[in-house]
Amino acid sequence: MKTILKLIGGLFIGIVAGLGIAAVIIVLFTDSTFLEFTDKLLSANGVEAIAASIVGIASFVVAIAILIPIHEAGHLICGRLTGYKFVSFRIFSWTFIKIDGKILVKKFAVAGTGGQCLLTPPDLPLEKIPTGWYNAGGVLANLLVMLLILPFFFLNLHPFMVEALAIFCITDVFLILVNGIPLKFNGISNDGYNIIYLNRNLLSKRAIVLQLRSNALIQNGMRPKDMPDEWYEWRTDVDFKNPLEVSIPLMYASKLIDQMQFEDAYKAFLELYSHKGEIIQLYVNEVACELAFCALITGHKEHAEELLDPILRKYIDTYKKVMSSKLRLLCAIALYLDNDTGKAKDIYRTLSTDQEKYLLQGEVKSDMTIMNWMLNKAWIDK
């Protein structure tokens, strides 16, 4: 009920705000006065009001479908112009990735995001790697679109067309402000914040560079255990409120799992989980998943059961089709909690059948190897 009320309230506020901004745009860029706009709005009959509502909703949907790809294309173009190499380009859940020189299409989604452009930084010393243009590209693309749309308001267009253009511009302005004004949302910095912050904090800059480089390698099939050791180090000066800095010890702990050093991995994830009050929720969920896996495989079943509450299980179920590590965890649950070897084998076969559908092939190789080891060990122990 709270969700429904929030949705209705947000819709109402959006309609009022949209009408207000539309009125300002129409008054500024047409011959109509504010009173004329108000009179037309109040004198509209039911059919016109319904038609205007449909046009408004459709315009918003179309605007999102157009502006998000344009925003991500801006990152792509500016990144490429400053020496970055293409890795992947995601719009909603459709992801274009480059593997062995070929562009493939796969499905991958991250809750709360409409798109993402991932590139590999140029091979330069850390302090010389450019980050400003890559981060600014999306906002610059949205600003360019705005400049191209504004002249249409001076034409003698149908009122519904004016409404559609106004809503398109409102949506574009919203994206520009949300991405351009330096802000953090639930601890995650936006493009504007990164433009400023990455030039001041070399540890965060190093973290994002390593994230991008390791992502490209894993996508092309390299396992974490095979990556350079100097990329992964456990630092004691990490700011756990900074997602970029936390990513380094998180990658370190994940590498321990791939190396099958499960006791050390358990301790590393336990340390990370002790900071769950500071870490962003997405990372908390990931740490909890891997901690539960390590707890199961090292005999800490009670701790695993405590972690695997309904909320975390729902998270696992949500991401099991895009993250192979969730199937690895489900396999461990089937083996060590449910004592169901048949179910564990079915999970392994599912990943084996669907492995090409996953984005990060290096993780798939790692997870299949570990699952196979678990199943063999379970058979030997019997």
pLDDT digits (tens, 9 = 90+) for 323-370: 999 999 999 999 999 999 999 999 999 999 999 888 889 999 999 999
Sequence letter at residue 290: E
Q: Which two tokens stand for residue 187?
A: 């601890």
Secondary structure letter of residue 181 according to DSSP = S
Task: Please state the rounded mean pLDDT for residues 191-199.
Answer: 89
Per-residue pLDDT at 161: 87
State how far the Cα of 331 lies from the Cα of 342, in Å rounded to an integer.
Answer: 10
Place of tokens 């060990």: 377
257-308 per-position pLDDT tens digit:
999 999 999 999 999 999 999 999 989 999 999 999 999 999 999 999 999 9
> 201-245 pLDDT, tens per residue?
888 898 899 999 999 999 889 999 999 888 887 777 788 888 888
User: What is the reported pLDDT for 116?
Assistant: 80
CATH topology of domain 202-381: 1.25.40
Average pLDDT over residues 144-171: 87
C-alpha 375: how far from chain center? 32
What lies within 8 Å, CB to CB, of 311 at 6+ separation is: none
Question: What CA–CA distance (Å, rounded) separates 163 from 71?
Answer: 22
Task: Tell me the C-alpha distance between 246 and 242, whole Å.
Answer: 6
Domain boundaries, the chain: 2-84+123-196, 85-120, 202-381
pLDDT over 80 at 185, yes or no: no
* pLDDT above 60 for 4: no
Nearest to 26 by CA among 193, 194, 154: 154
Return the pLDDT at 103.
83
- Summarize pLDDT for 80-122 with one digit per residue, the tens: 999 999 988 888 778 888 877 788 887 776 655 667 888 999 9
pTM, two decimals, is 0.80
Check pLDDT > 50 for residue 1.
no
Helices (H), 198-323: 202-219, 243-258, 262-273, 281-297, 301-307, 310-319
Q: For the chain, report the end-to-end CA distance as a whole number of angstroms.
A: 50
* pLDDT, position 90: 85
Backbone angles phi and psi of 95, in degrees to 5 = -125, 125
Question: Over 70: is that where the pLDDT of 21 sits?
Answer: no
Q: Could you tell me what percent of the chain has a pLDDT over 70?
A: 86
Chain segment 38-80, per-residue pLDDT in tens = 776 666 666 666 777 778 778 888 888 899 899 999 999 999 9
Burial 306-328 (b: 16+ CB within 10 A, else e): ebbeeebeebbeebbbbbbbbbb
Mean pLDDT of the chain: 86
